[in-house]
Chains A and B, each alone.
Chain A
C-alpha cells in the first residue's frame, strides 16, 4: 500500500513538471503572437509611420541586428513599449500610440534602443529558461518537502512510541518552511534577474545611441504618467520598458518588481561619463557601491564619448501637436480609413465600408470624389 502511494506521488510529480515545461514552451514559442494579439497591436508598414519605422531601422543598424524586427503600434493612451520574439530573427517591437506622440526623436531612439537591446541580448529566451528552471525547482522542493513531511508525521508515530520524536519535529518544521519559502525565493530570483536585464538593456541603449540623455528624458516622461496599460499581465511584464503595474511612491530598492525604480534608472543614465558599458557600470557603482551590474565578460575598461545633441535634427523636429497628428493619422490608416484633406483644412476620415462615390465636407460643404 505504501508502495502504491509513493508511486502515485512520483507520477504526479512527473506530470506536474511536464505540464510546467509544456506551458513554458508554449509561452516561449507562441508568446509573441499571444502577447501582440492580446494587446491588439497593429503591425505597421514603412509608409504608415515613417518616423517610427526610420528610428527602428536606425537603431537596428546601430545595434548590428541582422534582421529588421516587425513594428507594432498599440492604440492606448498609456505610455509603454515592449519587445518580444524568441530569437533575433523573429523579433517584434511594440509601442503605444500614447508614448509615440510624447517622445521626440532622441527619446524615441533611447526607448527603441532599450527594446532592441532586449532582442539582441536574447532576454525572451533567458526569462523563459529562468521560469522553466525555477518552476521545476519549486515543484521539486514542494514534492521533496512533502515526502519529508509525511515521513516525519507517519513514520514519527511508530518511532515516538520508542521515545525518539524530537528529530521528527525538526524535520517537520524545516520541511514546512521549505515548502513555503521555496516559491517565494524562486520568485525573488526571477525578479532579480529581470531587473539585471533591465539595467543591461538601459546600458545597451546608451551604447547604441551614444546618447544616454535620450533614454533618461524618455523615462522621465514615462514616470510622470499614471495611466496603466489595459492589456498587460504579470507574465509579460519583464518585456516592457517600465513595469506596467507599478504604483506611485514605490520604495527605492523594491525586491518584488520586475523593473528597477525609474528614478534610479534615470539617475544612473545621467551620471554616465561616457556611453560605454564600463561607464554605465561606474555610474551604477557610484550609486550603490560594491559590485556593478553589467556581466563582467562584456566589460572593457574603455570610455566611449557621448554624442552631442544634433542641432540640424532639432530644427526639423516635429513638435508635440504634429506628432499627435502624425500618430492619429497612422492609427486611422491602420484601421483602413481613407483620409481626405479638404481645402478648408478639415480632414475627412472615410470609413472602409463607405460606399458612396463622393462625400461632402461637413465644415465648408465642398464635394470630394473618393
Chain B
C-alpha cells in the first residue's frame, strides 16, 4: 500500500465526508512520523492512525467541532500512543544506530560518515531531553503551532514556548549541531 493510499474501511465509513479523506492524505504521514518517533512500532503506529481517523469520522458525524482538526487528530493519536506505551512499558524510540546504513545508501562515503555523526550527536542530545521536551519538539516538527501543542499535551501555550526554547538550546549547545 502506498503512503497516500486510503484504506478500504475509511471511505466506506466516511461516505459523504470527503474532507476526511483529504485530511487522511494530508496528515497520515506526519502522524505516522510522530508515532514511530514516540516509540511505537510500524504496525502499532498504523493502527493508531487508522483508529484516529475512524474516531474523526465519528466525531464529525456526531456534529463535533470542526475547529483545529489537525490538533484534534494529533491529540487522539497521542492519547492512544500513550495508552499503548503504558501497556507495553515502552519509552521513546532509541536511536537507530544500526539502521543508519539504509538511510545513507545514495550518499557518498564522506557524506554518509558526516550524516551518521550528525545523527549520532543529535540522538545523544535527544536522550538528554525530558519527555515533555521531546514531545513538544516532535509535535512542532509535525507542523503544530504552540497553541495546538498545548492542546495535545494539556499544557499552557506559554509553557510550550518555554519548553521548545529550552529543548532547542539543549540540542544546539550540548550536541554542537
Do A and B share a complex?
Answer: no
Binding site for B on A (CB under 8 A): none
B residues contacting A by CB (< 8 A) are none
